[in-house]
Every structure is written in C-alpha cells, then in structure tokens.
Amino acid sequence: MSATALERLIEAARLDPEHVFSAPWEARAFAIALQLSESGHFTWDEFREHLIAEVRASDRIRARDGTSDHGEYYDHFLHALEKLLEEKGLAHPMSS
C-alpha cells in the first residue's frame, strides 16, 4: 500500500496517523475492510456492528477468566472482518 493510499485511509477514518497501526498487517486489514465497504460488499456500519460484537465477546471472556486486554484491537478487527466476509459469502472458513 502506498503512503498516499494509507494517508487517505487514515484521513477517511479520522484516525491519528501517529498511533494508528502497530504492525503492517493491521494497516492491510484496515485497507481491505475499507475497500470492500467502499466497493459495496457491505456497509461500514455492518462491519462496525461485527467489530462491536467481537470486542463485547472478548470483554465477557476477559471478565470471566480474569485476563486483560493487551492491544488486541486489530485481532478483533480481523475476526470481525472474517466473520462478515463468511456471512456475505465472500470467503469460506479455513479448516483446522
């Protein structure tokens, strides 16, 4: 992804460019989600609902197990995207 494309994505999401991504895969996941949304495969609100559900589920697990969140946001982001793509028939779950 070019610097210009990343700058556009950050601006579109109104994110702080100094504290957005801690690893390249996070930027790629964000770019994929944004592009698929802009291409009409799903709305950003649909994606956001899936992300909220992922975070909520994780919060319940942490509360039950007494664990803490250590920067897992983009893990949740990726899981939400995977589930939405499966629901839309754009991807199939990977076999274990």
Name the average pLDDT for the chain. Answer: 78
C-alpha to C-alpha distance for 67 and 61, rounded to whole angstroms:
8
Contact between residue 88 and residue 42 where contact means Cβ atoms under 8 Å apart: yes
pLDDT at 94 over 60: yes
pLDDT band at 1 (very low <50, low <70, confident <90, very high): very low
12-25 tens-digit pLDDT: 555 555 666 788 88
- What does the domain layout of the chain look like in residue ranges? 22-87
